[in-house]
Homo-oligomer: A and B are copies of this chain.
């Protein structure tokens, strides 16, 4: 009896905090504004800093906040729509696609990719690195695995590596007849190299888009593209103009 039952549903503190902060973001903050620092916020809400951080992590995962070490926590803009559907009814590297070739190497792919390529498990392939920007920042990094058999006429005259080599591989690839593509999307965490390129910490959540390019019943190439999950909304279909976002939530009865 001495216990006052304030919470009949003992919702976790960090979850309640997330809700409170989320509503505050909707009503009292504007995009780009910086929040008070974590120690200050924790004190203000009467919780340990770790608990406060758990709430902030949630909101960052949902794309509501952006945190940068040494700088502070700011209110993130709505996620940008990134088209991954229509601009590629063709081979990668077609004029006008959103990617920029970075370089090209020749190495043995990860085992999982090798299996999908139906190539020998120890066979080296061309690996084209490309990057994609949006709103002035890099939003995705791609590795395109191309077996030598898919680009038989690639001449040694072309540069052995670097962006020029990458473009040469893409050019050869486009000579094949594209039969179809299979694509999948899943959640992943950024490896160290991708994280650095995307200006995130290792382990940051990313959306991994895997595309298999099929020609004459065989797999001509595999693309593994890694998008920043915090800032990107992948769009499929005819337009990237959908605008369905978070917002003050109303409960359906």
Q: Tell me the A residues contacting B by CB distance below 8 Å.
A: 11-12, 15, 18, 58, 61-63, 79, 81, 85, 105, 107-113, 115-116, 127, 143, 180-189, 191, 202-203, 205, 207, 210, 212, 222, 224, 229-230, 232-239, 241-250, 252-253
Contacts and interface: CB of A to CB of B under 8 A. Distances in A.
Contacts of A184: 81, 233-236, 242, 244
A182 B252 contact: no
A95 to B, nearest CB: 23
Nearest to A241: B182
Contacts of A246: 112
A85 B237 CA distance: 10
A205 B203 contact: no
A212 to B, nearest CB: 6
A250 B108 contact: yes
Contacts of A180: 237-238
19 contacts: A18-B203, A61-B189, A61-B205, A63-B186, A108-B252, A109-B250, A111-B248, A112-B245, A112-B246, A112-B247, A127-B252, A181-B237, A182-B241, A183-B236, A184-B236, A185-B236, A186-B207, A186-B232, A236-B236
Contacts of A234: 184-186
A207 B183 contact: no
B58 A189 contact: yes
Contacts of A116: 242-244
B244 A112 contact: yes
Contacts of A143: 252
For A18, A62, A116, which residue has the most chain B Cβ atoms within 10 angstroms?
A: A62
Interface centre among A18, A181, A182 (most CB of B within 10 A): A182
